């Protein structure tokens, strides 16, 4: 059976949203937002802040394994930090060679390294030496920086360095998130390596999922923004009967409660609106709620609107 995986999404899918999406269900495992490694050995609390699931056996509250992603360009410090991460018993370790964000790329991180297959190999081999066989070890890459000319070289360098599986996002750094994803290039990469490959990119619907499998030759698919836009997508792919928006609404309430615990009030409403804005693609009801909340600034007023809509339940007063 195909595996359906939840992608790491910096600035979008933090532990709160990961918890909601995996509680709704359908995912075999996922990867958290990246931990940036520079010229230092990070303390355990840094990993636990970015991936609080580490404090729960590296699983979300609903039990979905969550792997930890490292991003950096120095083989020595990547290895040192991998050793520390191993001591926290993650469900898996992933290396980020795909982030296209300019702030990351300016510091030689993420997709900016895709012009240097030798360095990819050096980083990955150094980390491999610190990751025991019992911990899954993967890497996630894009097809290149400005073109796909080194896609196969990069994939082969990572495979030779000892990763267990490779995840390929079917775009270059320059492509950003513009459609379409170059699924046919994922197939070319898959054919050139001898380890399992997981396809990623531009999967928004069940039809997209099946088409991606067919074009890439990959059974296993990682879903990113499509999972945020339709939290029921993984279960739809699995052929489960789902109730639609009514099944998502409790998760909206859970997400808001988590936001209020974690986020300062001035930013709380924006976080919820960001998610609703993406769900508008899949649910007319999300559009209605988004438009209702859009002009509301204060967190207390957002909460009042959610209570009035029946999305939140008013807690009984203490005696």
C-alpha 137/C-alpha 43 separation (Å) is 21
* Helix (H/G/I), strand (E/B), else coil: 12: coil
* Helix (H/G/I), strand (E/B), else coil: 7: coil
* Helix (H/G/I), strand (E/B), else coil: 223: strand
The helices-and-strands tally (H runs, E runs) of the chain is 14, 8
| Sign of torsion over alpha carbons 278, 281, 282, 287 | positive
Position of tokens 């990682």?
222
C-alpha 54/C-alpha 135 separation (Å) is 14
* Helix (H/G/I), strand (E/B), else coil: 23: helix
Nearest to 235 by CA among 286, 59, 244, 91: 244
Query: By the 8 A CB rule, do 62 and 251 touch?
Result: no
Query: By the 8 A CB rule, do 162 and 125 touch?
Result: yes
99 is known as an active-site residue: yes
C-alpha 72/C-alpha 53 separation (Å) is 22
C-alpha 234/C-alpha 266 separation (Å) is 33
C-alpha 83/C-alpha 85 separation (Å) is 5
Catalytic residue among 32, 51, 99, 218: 99
180: preceding bond cis by omega (within 30 degrees): yes
Query: By the 8 A CB rule, do 5 and 13 touch?
Result: no
Position of tokens 């996002």?
169
C-alpha 68/C-alpha 48 separation (Å) is 10
Residues designated catalytic: 99
């Amino acid at each position: 059976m195909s595996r359906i995986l939840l992608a790491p999404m910096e600035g979008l899918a933090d532990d709160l949203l990961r918890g909601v999406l995996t509680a709704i269900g359908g995912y075999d495992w996922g990867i958290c937002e990246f931990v940036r490694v520079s010229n230092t050995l990070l303390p355990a609390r840094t990993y636990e802040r970015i991936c609080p699931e580490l404090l729960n056996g590296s699983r979300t509250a609903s039990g979905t394994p969550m792997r930890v992603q490292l991003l950096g360009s120095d083989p020595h410090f990547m290895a040192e930090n991998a050793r520390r991460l191993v001591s926290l018993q993650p469900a898996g370790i992933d290396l980020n060679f795909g982030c296209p964000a300019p702030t990351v790329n300016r510091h030689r991180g993420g997709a900016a390294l895709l012009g240097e297959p030798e360095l990819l190999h050096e980083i990955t081999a150094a980390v491999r030496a610190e990751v025991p066989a019992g911990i899954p070890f993967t890497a996630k890459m894009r097809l290149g920086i400005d073109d796909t000319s080194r896609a196969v070289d990069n994939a082969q360098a990572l495979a030779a360095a000892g990763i267990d599986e490779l995840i390929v996002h079917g775009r270059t750094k320059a492509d950003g998130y513009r459609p379409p994803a170059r699924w046919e290039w994922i197939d070319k990469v898959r054919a050139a390596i001898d380890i399992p490959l997981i396809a990623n990119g531009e999967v928004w619907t069940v039809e997209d999922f099946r088409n991606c499998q067919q074009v890439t030759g990959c059974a296993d698919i990682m879903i990113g923004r499509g999972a945020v836009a339709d939290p029921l997508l993984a279960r739809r792919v699995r052929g489960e009967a789902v109730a639609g928006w009514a099944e998502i609404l409790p998760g909206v309430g859970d997400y808001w409660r988590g936001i209020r615990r974690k986020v300062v009030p001035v930013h709380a409403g924006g976080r919820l609106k960001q998610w609703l804005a993406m769900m508008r693609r899949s649910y007319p009801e999300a559009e209605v709620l988004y438009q209702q909340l859009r002009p509301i600034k204060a967190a207390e007023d957002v909460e009042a609107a959610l209570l009035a809509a029946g999305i939140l339940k008013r807690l009984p007063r203490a005696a």
